[in-house]
């Protein structure tokens, strides 16, 4: 199998198993976890840049006003995404977090139509409409809007839009994003420690290791993803991305035994049907384009 596919599977599997990691730290409040994730990620990303001798290039482009402005928005979006995800996982909403990432591809389409004036094919409209129906149905079943799923989906979808126009690659971009958030994260951690609520060096060695490891589990899948994107077509990446929410869904239902009534299952089936339509349409369209290019070259 292509090495890039293994890289992609590994990246998406790590992201899909994230709930297990944050569950190990359930006694630490979500804001502290996010702050540690920012600090240790920034330090680890800087280490990678230094070791790969990219620091001079990174420092030169990271000071550009446009880069700072773009990544300030990206940093705010990813901070919201991380905070809601970690809080939801430890509050017992792993299944709903999976829904958020299942609908990200469809929300990307909506963002493209709204902000980039992209045109949709018939089946893209159909899948988007069906997914909207599924979310509305789940809203009715839940009795409230599934705000966790929608917040995760929209924050990540808009984050993708911002990154689409961003001038840096994924490694340098995330380094700048975490750097922008670094001061606020450090201030909060210092305040938590001062008030006696800080978890670092106050609980157990395992907890301290896991808090530091938050940087590692953030950086490793990012680098795997970047390596995969260089080696395999985006169409393959698009299919493999469903590994993450699928694993999260299975963890929520089979491992953490979150309640999942058959009425909710109907709503998820509607969303999954929309995703299948969306994926098949994309595959057939890319195949037709590839055949057309081949015919023109012949």
| Distance of alpha carbon 178 from alpha carbon 14, whole angstroms | 20
Residue 8, class by beta-carbon neighbours within 10 Å (0-12 exposed, 13-18 middle, 19+ buried)?
A: buried
Cβ partners under 8 Å of residue 28, min gap 6: 199, 203, 207, 211
Q: Is-above-0.85 flag for pTM? A: no
Cα within 13 Å of Cα(225), Cβ side: 20
Four-CA torsion 195, 197, 201, 204, nearest 10 degrees: 150
Average pLDDT across each block of 10 residues of the chain; the chain has 298 residues. List them in order.
78 91 92 94 92 87 85 92 94 89 75 71 81 79 80 85 78 89 94 86 85 90 76 64 85 88 80 80 75 67
| C-beta separation of 170 from 48 below 8 A | no
Cα within 13 Å of Cα(113), Cβ side: 12
| Distance of alpha carbon 265 from alpha carbon 96, whole angstroms | 12
Joined together, the tokens standing for residue 63 give 């000071």
Residues in the chain: 298
**DSSP string across 258-285:** ----HHHHHHHHHHHHHHHHHHHHHHHH
| Distance of alpha carbon 123 from alpha carbon 120, whole angstroms | 8
- Give the pLDDT of residue 237: 64
- Give the pLDDT of residue 140: 79
- Give the pLDDT of residue 294: 65
The domain locations on the chain are: 3-297
pLDDT tens profile 146-198: 889 889 988 888 887 787 777 887 788 889 999 999 999 999 999 998 888 88
| C-beta separation of 217 from 14 below 8 A | yes
| Distance of alpha carbon 58 from alpha carbon 231, whole angstroms | 23
| C-beta separation of 172 from 49 below 8 A | yes
- Give the pLDDT of residue 35: 94
Query: Token match 């700072």: residue?
Result: 68
């Amino acid at each position: 199998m292509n090495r890039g596919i293994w890289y992609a599977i590994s990246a998406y599997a790590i992201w899909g198993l994230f709930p297990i990691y944050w569950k190990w730290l359930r006694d630490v409040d979500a804001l502290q976890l996010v702050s540690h994730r920012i600090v240790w990620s920034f330090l680890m990303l800087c280490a990678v840049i230094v070791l790969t001798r990219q620091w001079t290039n990174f420092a030169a482009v990271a000071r550009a006003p446009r880069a700072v402005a773009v990544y300030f928005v990206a940093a705010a979006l990813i901070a919201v995404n991380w905070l809601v995800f970690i809080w939801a996982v430890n509050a017992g909403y792993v299944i709903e977090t999976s829904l958020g990432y299942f609908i990200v591809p469809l929300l990307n389409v909506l963002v493209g139509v709204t902000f980039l004036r992209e045109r949709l094919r018939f089946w893209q409209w159909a899948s988007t409409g069906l997914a909207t129906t599924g979310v509305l149905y789940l809203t009715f079943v839940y009795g409230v809007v599934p705000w966790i799923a929608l917040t995760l989906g929209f924050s990540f979808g808009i984050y993708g839009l911002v990154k689409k126009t961003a001038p840096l690659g994924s490694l340098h971009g995330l380094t700048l994003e975490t750097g922008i958030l670094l001061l606020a994260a450090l201030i909060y951690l210092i305040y938590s420690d001062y008030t006696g609520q800080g978890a670092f060096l106050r609980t157990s060695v395992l907890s301290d290791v896991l808090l530091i490891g938050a940087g590692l589990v953030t950086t490793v899948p990012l680098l795997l993803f970047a390596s995969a994107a260089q080696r395999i077509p985006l169409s393959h990446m698009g299919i493999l991305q469903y590994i993450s929410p699928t694993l999260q869904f299975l963890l929520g239902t089979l491992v953490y035994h979150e309640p999942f009534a058959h009425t909710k299952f109907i709503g998820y089936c509607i969303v999954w049907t929309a995703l299948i339509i969306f994926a098949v349409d994309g595959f057939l369209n890319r195949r037709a384009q590839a055949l057309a290019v081949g015919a023109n070259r012949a």
